[in-house]
Amino acid sequence: MDKAFFLNDPDSPKPQWVSSKTPIDYEAAHRFMADEVVKIAAGQACERIWLLEHPPLYTAGISAKPADLIDAERFSVYKTDRGGQYTYHGPGQRVVYVMLDLNRRKKDVRAFVAALEAWIIEALWRFNIEGHIREGRVGVWVERKDKGLSPPPEDKIAALGIKLRHWVSFHGMSLNVEPDLTHFSGIVPCGITDHGVTSLVDLGLPVTMDEVDYALKLSFVEQFGAVETIDGDFRP
């Protein structure tokens, strides 16, 4: 797919790039996104990319299966309207909520998801990590060549789940930087039992969240166009 497919019109307002420095309550984040979607669609708010962390929790997408919730008492569980199944969010994981207006870009859901995947993969390349998309497995995966097996097993490093309303996206993706990977054991992540999860630190890369955010921003600009960075601690 052409990298320019979803580039913003240079004469249009730039998406705001904001980040929260302390964990954000999931329900508060969801309420904010739902309100923003309406405003963005009506031309009353700018597009927004929101980087944050959540306290430890599980979310159930619209395809979640009850049997995939292994330990319902471990953390709070939230039903949500994004695509996908169960996933985990928590400290050490960079969550990125993507509120982009496809009315002003391209009304092509599959191409949009592919562009989001390409964004994550290109950000990983900046740390010399090769990410992969696999048929039938949502998210971004890495081959664990360090385990010395042939073929190498694959672990998920980033999850993806979006929702469109009035052709404005919300929800987004989560990239494992340094979360507690044992927290994933309370669910079957994304309904997949034959593969594990990993993180940048688990792969031997002791990167900071700031370094990850910088890589994400550079790669986002290539896929979607320039942003307006809003400094400070963003609170919904």
26 three-state secondary structure: helix
CA dihedral defined by 5, 6, 12, 17, rounded to 10 degrees? -150
In sequence order, what E strands does 27-183 have?
A: 48-52, 57-60, 76-79, 86-89, 93-99, 132-134, 137-143, 154-165, 168-176
Q: Identify whether the C-beta of residue 50 lies closer than 8 Å to the C-beta of residue 96.
A: yes
Q: Is 46 a catalytic residue?
A: no
| Residue of 175, 190, 200, 212 with catalytic role | 190
Q: What's the CA gap between 79 and 21, in Å, rounded?
A: 25
Q: What's the CA gap between 86 and 197, in Å, rounded?
A: 13
Do you find a cis peptide bond into 151, omega within 30 degrees of 0?
yes
Catalogue the active-site residues.
190
